């Protein structure tokens, strides 16, 4: 790797001048600048990022926290790949790389002295590596660390989880709005007895979807008996179990809004096992539009999230803060109703 010194010598200028050519080009006379640029190009010069980070305290890296919930080893993020695509492309466009941090559940941290539950582990990593900020992907198992980081004053953008702090914001789908669309669609199809299978009580999207559901039901003048609200955990089996209990009611619903596609697939299975035709005897609507949604039988009506868009929005939000901008307000990205055969 060629260094700034070699270029300086070859050009007969000081290292300061070479450095300026790359960092504040307009402060250098055009002739010197052009010479330096030419020589740098010929030698395929690339600045040493470690040296740069040491001198400037900025690294050109954004951290990504995506812990896999150790209490639920089978857990999968419903749209991680698209999220990463969005994140990465938006960060790349500004010259940033994405550092996936070894997370607190790992042996590594313990090795370097951080206890498994060290809530300031992310703060430390961010400082040690001079990260511009962090993007936090909710895994449901990291709440204290998320909170500690959000409070730290370092740029922080969480996905699908609400965080609070001087430079903390979050991005998620407009879940309430999505749930409303689902209910309106079902109401328009003539349904009156509409139940919902929710996500976990502490989960942001789950809460907002339930809120939207209730709002839309109220808007339509429809009652929501307690038995029509069954809590699931976003996993398929919970949807299946919830649907079974709904079917067993004295007055079962004619339509069920599920807060996630995985649960909706479970609900479909339960309906099939109970010998109920979908959508004739019971309509089902999901949320997420995972790949599976279009392929189950019958294909699932659902609310498509702008998965890559959430990644892009998260990237933009960190970058805004990294570049000194004001902390962006939380972003709620619109969802899109995709009508398939599981409802009408």
Partner DNA sequence: CTGAAAGCGCTTACAG
Give 3 or 341: the residue with its C-beta nearer to DNA: 3
Q: Measured between alpha carbons, how far is 87 from 91 in angstroms, rounded to an integer?
A: 6
- Residues with Cβ within 8 Å of residue 207, at least 6 apart in sequence: 201
235 binds its own copies (CB under 8 A): no
Is 240 within 8 Å of 270 (Cβ atoms)? yes
107 binds its own copies (CB under 8 A): yes
10 Å Cβ neighbour count for 45? 18
Give 97 or 273: the residue with its C-beta nearer to DNA: 97
Angstrom CA distances, 191 to 110, 167, 185, 194, 209, stand at 54, 44, 9, 7, 19
Q: Measured between alpha carbons, how far is 182 from 160 in angstroms, rounded to an integer?
A: 20
Among its own copies, DNA, none, what does residue 28 contact (CB within 5–8 Å per kind)?
DNA
Give 44 or 251: the residue with its C-beta nearer to DNA: 44
Q: What part of residues 49-78 is at the interface with DNA (CB under 7 A)?
A: 51-52, 54-56
Q: What part of residues 62-91 is at the interface with its own copies (CB under 8 A)?
A: 64, 68, 76-77, 80-81, 84-85, 88-89, 91
Among 9, 10, 31, 85, binds DNA (CB under 7 A): 31
111 binds DNA (CB under 7 A): no
Q: Is the peptide bond before 279 cis (omega within 30 degrees of 0)?
A: yes
304 phi/psi in degrees, rounded to 5: -80, 130
* DSSP run (H or E) holding 292: none
Q: For residue 58, which of 6, 5, 94 has the smallest C-alpha distance?
A: 94
| Residue listed under structure tokens 């669609």 | 185
Among DNA, its own copies, none, what does residue 20 contact (CB within 5–8 Å per kind)?
DNA
Give 120 or 229: the residue with its C-beta nearer to its own copies: 120
Q: What part of residues 274-303 is at the interface with its own copies (CB under 8 A)?
A: 291-292, 295-297
Q: Measured between alpha carbons, how far is 102 from 228 in angstroms, rounded to an integer?
A: 42
- Footprint of its own copies (CB under 8 A): 1, 41, 44, 46-51, 53-54, 59, 61, 64, 68, 76-77, 80-81, 84-85, 88-89, 91-103, 106-109, 111-113, 120, 124-125, 127-130, 265, 291-292, 295-297
- Footprint of DNA (CB under 7 A): 1, 3-5, 12-17, 19-20, 22-24, 26-29, 31-33, 45, 47-48, 51-52, 54-56
């Amino acid at each position: 790797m060629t260094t700034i010194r070699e270029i300086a010598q070859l050009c007969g200028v000081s290292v300061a001048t070479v450095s300026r050519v790359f960092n504040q080009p307009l402060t250098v006379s055009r002739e010197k600048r052009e010479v330096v640029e030419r020589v740098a190009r010929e030698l395929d010069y690339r600045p040493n990022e470690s040296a740069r980070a040491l001198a400037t305290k900025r690294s050109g890296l954004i951290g990504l926290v995506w812990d896999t919930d150790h209490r639920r080893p089978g857990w999968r993020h419903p749209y991680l790949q698209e999220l990463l695509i969005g994140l990465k492309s938006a960060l790349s466009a500004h010259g940033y790389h994405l550092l996936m941090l070894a997370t607190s559940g790992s042996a590594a941290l313990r090795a370097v002295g951080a206890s498994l539950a060290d809530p300031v582990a992310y703060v430390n990593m961010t400082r040690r590596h001079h990260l511009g900020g962090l993007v936090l992907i909710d895994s449901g198992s990291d709440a204290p660390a998320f909170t500690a980081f959000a409070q730290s004053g370092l740029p922080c953008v969480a996905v699908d989880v609400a965080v609070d702090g001087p430079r903390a914001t979050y991005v998620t789908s407009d879940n309430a709005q999505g749930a409303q669309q689902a209910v309106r669609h079902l109401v328009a199809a003539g349904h009156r007895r509409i139940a919902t299978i929710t996500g976990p009580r502490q989960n942001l999207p789950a809460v907002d979807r339930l809120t939207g559901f209730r709002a839309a039901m109220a808007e339509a003048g429809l009652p929501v008996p307690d038995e029509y609200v069954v809590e699931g955990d976003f996993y398929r089996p919970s949807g299946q179990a919830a649907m079974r209990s709904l079917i067993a009611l004295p007055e079962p619903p004619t339509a069920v809004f599920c807060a996630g596609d995985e649960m909706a697939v479970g609900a479909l299975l339960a309906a099939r096992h109970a010998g109920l035709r979908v959508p004739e005897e019971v309509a089902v609507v999901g949320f997420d539009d995972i790949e599976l949604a279009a392929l189950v039988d019958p294909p699932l009506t659902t609310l498509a999230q702008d998965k890559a868009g959430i990644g892009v929005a998260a990237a933009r939000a960190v970058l805004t803060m990294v570049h000194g901008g004001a902390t962006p307000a939380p972003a709620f990205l619109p969802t899109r109703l995709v009508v398939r055969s599981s409802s009408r």
